[in-house]
Every structure is written in structure tokens, then in C-alpha cells.
Amino acid sequence: MDLFDALHTSSSGLNAQRLRMNLISANLANINTTRTREGGPYRRKEAVFAAQAATGAFGDMLAARSANNLPEVKVVEIINDKSSPRLQYDPGHPDADENGYVALPNINLMEEMVNMISATRSYEANITAVKAARDMALKALEIGRDR
């Protein structure tokens, strides 16, 4: 793997984690949204990631590398939470049903905050990898310049 491959892999991770942070932010922003265009309360969204597998024989991996199949993180899909909404008793709310219950999104604030911290740490790790690749490239240029 050369430096550009490392940059490509890290940049795909950066893009995936940025999308994940955007989805978490949307979940937090809509924690009390009771009405959407689709009808009903907001549904929590989550990104599903997939990575290119690094299994198989060395020859297969070399052939994949030659075909420019670089390892990267891909967002396969964005899924909506299938759990039922959280019901809260509030008979004065405009979206309350005949029994006085309002259907709210099933979003756990603590879970979302933990997911945000995890996404931030992953983003920072990819930034560190990009900086390491940059530093190696600069060091290689310095070695070539000294001769």
C-alpha cells in the first residue's frame, strides 16, 4: 500500500464518519418531532458501513490491488429505526390521540451522545492517519533532497 492508497482509505473513513455525525445530529435535532412529511413521528436514522474484506490468498489480494480495488469504508445504506414510537401523556398537545397520548420518536439522548463521541474519535483517528501519511511523504522528499 503506497501513501496515496493510505490517503484514499482514510478519506473514505472521514466521509463515512462525517455522514454518521450528520445523521446523529439530525436525530438529536428531531428528538421531539411528532409530525413529519411521511406522517407520524420522526424515525431515528443510522448509517450502515461496510468495508472491503481483506481475506483470501496473497495472490488474490495482489490482483485486487492491481485492479485498483482499494480498501475503503462505504456507506451501504441509511436505515430508519423500526421500533415503535415512545408514547407520552400530554392531552393538550395538538398531535395527541383520543386518549391524550403523543407519539414521540424513540431516540435515547445518551445513546446518541455516545454514538457522537464514537464517531468523533473515529474521525480523529482517520485525521491522524492522514497526517502520518503526509509526514511520511514529506520525510521521503527530505531524504531525496539531501542526496
**Local confidence band at 55 (pLDDT 50, 70, 90 cut-offs):** low
**Local confidence band at 79 (pLDDT 50, 70, 90 cut-offs):** very high
pLDDT at 17: 95
pLDDT at 43 over 60: yes
DSSP 7-64: HHHHHHHHHHHHHHHHHHHHHHHTTT----TTSSS---EEEEEEE----S-HHHHHHH
Give this prediction's pTM: 0.79
Q: Which residue has the higher pLDDT, 50 or 126?
A: 126
